[in-house]
Amino acid sequence: MKPYKELSHEELTALRIELNEEFDEIKKKGLSLDMSRGKPCAEQLDISMAMMDVLHGNADLKCETGVDCRNYGVIDGIPEAKRLLGAMSEVDPDNIIIFGNSSLNVMFDSIARSMTHGVMGNTPWCKLDKVKFLCPVPGYDRHFKITEFFGIEMINVPMSPTGPDMDMVEELVSSDPAVKGIWCVPKYSNPQGYTYSPETVRRFAGLKPAAPDFRIYWDNAYSIHHLYKENQDYLAEILHECANAGNPDIVYKFTSTSKVSFPGSGIAAVAASKANLEDFRKYMRIQTIGHDKLNQLRHVRFFKDLHGLHVHMHKHADIIRPRFELVLKTLDQEIGELGIGEWTRPHGGYFISFDSMEGCAKRIVALAKEAGVVLTEAGATYPYGKDPHDSNIRIAPTFPSMEELGEAVKVFVLCVKKASVEKLLEEKA
């Protein structure tokens, strides 16, 4: 079929009737499918089950320095866990702190601490007239929810395949002292799957903020989450670049094993300059006597080293790669020539970003829900849930089974076609 925009009013009307009949048939199936979140599937969780056996009742539960991991102490992580997460983060173990099970929780705490007590001796944000954050869009909805929760003004920064619009970032950061940070998912970004280019990373490292307490929130959630063994993206290491640029304190680098081992039961870490880490420790000494060292020990003894992590991630890739390829193949075959959508082709991460015709995303998501397929809410990838073009939809292929995913993508494609025809007929009316 030729592109929808080239169809006459009569052709579109006939097509709408055909699509409505197909949609009614789909609704009769009573489907209940969920593609709303980037959750690992059961097969992915199964490959980590042996971790449950590495610590048993008679196991030696001391870390390499002799500390009993059953007891209090070691506030910033056992040495072997710092080495493991340091290798995963491409930083020296001295530049990392091991936290609990969630990097998102650490990001929330970091914003909260900045609000109430400030950053490295600077004025607490709650005492300022205005606090702003830059938000590359489309982006991670949970990042935006954190800054929205604290009443921080969010500013959209357009994304490209090489990263955020750095001309805009440099201008805003250097000219406005109210700009205190920027959210970044620099590798296999959520939702587009883009990886920042080396030039983008260097420009981040070379920023000259008007605010001395400006920080880059570098959420490297997908650092080892490749889909392919050969076709992998490369990301320059931000702490190294910042040190070279004379800006060692400008970045917090977050990571976790949430989608490596068990979501909700992994280990999280922050890599940063020694000055930043000491600032973290000041509140940690009040907040906790130590995080879960048994979980840290469990991870180290299961994965052993960076090679062990990579071998494990190859298993993840083998499970989820067919799911990504199924979605992409279906999109290509069903709407690739119709001119009613564009989508990304990531080499890693957990999402495919779909852009519909302008003004159609909410309608597509609503139609899919009516047909029994739950998608991430339209607008969720923008601050305040407001997509100015009403076009971006995040597709999360990992959780459903292959059979369920095949059904869900067929429904999605049908909803895209139906919403697009409705939009074009409305424009021609």
Summarize pLDDT for 314-350 with one digit per residue, the tens: 999 999 999 999 999 999 999 999 999 999 999 999 9
Average pLDDT over residues 353-372: 98
pLDDT tens for residues 225-275?
A: 999 999 999 999 999 999 999 999 999 999 999 999 999 999 999 999 999
Predicted confidence band of residue 19 (pLDDT cuts 50, 70, 90): very high
- The CATH number assigned to the domain with range 62-304 reads 3.40.640.10
Average pLDDT over residues 351-376: 98
The two tokens of residue 21 are 């009949």
Percent of the chain surpassing pLDDT 90 = 98
Residues of the chain with CATH 3.90.1150.10: 4-44+310-428
The pLDDT of residue 420 is above 90: yes
Residues of the chain with CATH 3.40.640.10: 62-304
Residue 161: predicted pLDDT = 98
Average pLDDT over residues 374-380: 96
pLDDT tens for residues 23-50?
A: 999 999 999 999 998 999 999 999 999 9
Average pLDDT over residues 280-291: 94
The pLDDT of residue 209 is above 90: yes
Predicted confidence band of residue 1 (pLDDT cuts 50, 70, 90): confident
The pLDDT of residue 112 is above 90: yes
Average pLDDT over residues 174-193: 98
Average pLDDT over residues 61-71: 97
Residue 428: predicted pLDDT = 81
Pick the CATH number of 4-44+310-428 from 3.20.20.140, 3.90.1150.10, 3.30.1360.170, 3.40.605.10: 3.90.1150.10
Predicted confidence band of residue 429 (pLDDT cuts 50, 70, 90): confident
Q: How many whole angstroms separate alpha carbon 279 and alpha carbon 94?
A: 15
Predicted confidence band of residue 175 (pLDDT cuts 50, 70, 90): very high
Put simply, whether the predicted model's pTM sits higher than 0.75 gets the answer yes
